[in-house]
A and B are shown apart, each in its own frame.
Chain A
Amino acid sequence: MADSPLALEHQEGLHHQFVDPEQQRNAASLGMWVFLGTEVMFFGGMFCAYLIYRYWYYPEFAAGSRSLDIWLGTTNTIVLICSSLTVVLGVRAAQMGKRRLLVLLLLLTLVLGLGFLGIKGIEWYDKFVEHHVPGVSFSAEDLIRDYPQIHIDPAPTQIYFSLYFAMTGLHALHMIVGVGIFSYLTYYAWKGRYTPEYHTPVEIGGLYWHFVDIIWIYLFPLLYLIDRKPLK
């Protein structure tokens, strides 16, 4: 009876178009990866723009990059890596059917995700105070004063900060969406919906979270690190 189609149809959480839970899980995961493929192109365009403009306006990009707080940036990288660990341990807890552990790890992930956004908010606030936000109140005077050894043109400096806000802003938007997804997962994990047989939402939600982590893994060196060396 266990092998008959009828018996499979009544497995918990198995939709009728799939042969077995494994096929259903693979299909969901594949769908998420295709979506992440489109996201690679989405962020890829911004990375490409950043590299080209950095090539064109190197002194302005170097000065802009050095005005960021590298310690807050590094802290945020560490926060995100820790959140990826709590996600992957959460997926493991779901695979093993440990409901309380899963809820705890999802909550920890939410705390770390919100912590990341908070630190990002502090960094953005500093940029407003320093008049580094592109627009009418923009000023590169402090950078021109701080780095007399290089010639800094204020206009391309605005391009650096435009890309900085666009890229970190888009990443932060993905983090906010991620916090939404994980709030949903936490609620249903608490209700006991996820079992060793059915925990696909936790798994593909995790894929999304790790992907957003990877975007930051690349944003961090490009925005904060590669122009940090001593200026000649």
Chain B
Amino acid sequence: MSEPILSNKLYLGIWAALMVLTVITATVAFVDLGPFNTVVALAIATLKALLVVLFFMHVKYASEKLTKMVIVCALFWLLILLFLSLADYGTRHA
């Protein structure tokens, strides 16, 4: 068996972190931070997604480098989609 078996403690720790971040993001939503409400909410969401990908989906411990490359490629294409589209629509002055 080469795949690592992680401890229950680690999984429970990640779960607790995800729960705390959920409560924080729901509470902060009621505070007026101007344009930063969106930034904070998406930053917290990204942190949560990162925890899920690295620990629950075992990417941190994956021996296969190809898996990591597929993930980076998928994110890269997603960013092309989002950034180029938003750069277009965001700079139109109709």
| Bound complex: CA A47 to CA B79 (Å) | 11
The 3 closest A-B pairs by CB, nearest first: A37-B74, A221-B41, A225-B29
- Count of A-B contacts judged by CB separation below 8 Å: 141
Which range holds the interface residue count of chain A?
A: 35 or more
- Give which listed residue, A92, A214, A227, A229, contacts B8 with CB less than 8 A: A92
B41 touches A225 (CB 8 A): yes
The proximity string for B residues 10-49 relative to A, scoring 1 for CB distances below 8 Å and 0 otherwise, is: 0110010011001101100111110001100110110011
What is B's interface to A at a CB cutoff of 8 Å?
Answer: 1-3, 5-6, 8, 11-12, 15, 18-19, 22-23, 25-26, 29-33, 37-38, 41-42, 44-45, 48-49, 52-53, 55-57, 62-64, 66-67, 70-71, 73-75, 77-78, 81-82, 85-86, 89-90
Minimum Cβ distance to chain B for residue A40 (Å): 5
Knowing that A41-B77, A48-B85 touch, tell me 8 more A-B residue pairs with CB under 8 angstroms: A22-B3, A33-B71, A81-B15, A82-B15, A88-B55, A95-B1, A225-B37, A228-B30
Chain A residue nearest to B6 (CB atoms) is A92
- Chain B residues in 8 Å Cβ range of A197: 1
Interface residues in chain A, defined as those with a beta carbon under 8 Å from any beta carbon in chain B: 22, 25-26, 29-30, 33-34, 36-37, 40-41, 44-45, 47-48, 51-52, 55-56, 70, 74, 77-78, 81-82, 84-85, 87-89, 92, 95-96, 196-197, 206-207, 210-211, 213-214, 217-218, 220-222, 224-230
**Residue with the greatest number of chain A CB neighbours at <10 A, chosen from B1, B52, B56, B63:** B56
State whether B8 touches A89 (Cβ < 8 A): yes
Residues of A within 8 Å of B19, CB to CB, are 78, 81
Of A47, A206, A221, A224, most buried by chain B (CB within 10 Å of CB) is A221
**Residues in B neighbouring A70, C-beta threshold 8 A:** 26, 29
Point out the residues of chain A lying under 8 angstroms from B15, CB to CB: 81-82, 84-85
Q: Are B67 and A85 in contact (CB under 8 A)?
A: no
Q: Are A213 and B26 in contact (CB under 8 A)?
A: no
Contact between chains at B45 and A221 (CB < 8 Å): yes
Residue of B nearest to A23 (CB): B64
Evaluate contact between A92 and B5: CB separation under 8 angstroms.
yes
Chain B residue nearest in CB terms to A87: B56
Contact of A221 among B8, B25, B30, B56 (CB under 8 A): B25
Residues from chain A with Cβ under 8 Å of B8 in the complex: 89, 92
Q: What is the minimal beta-carbon distance from A46 to any residue of chain B, in angstroms?
A: 11
Are B64 and A29 neighbours in the complex by a CB distance under 8 Å?
yes
Contact B73 A74 (CB under 8 A): no
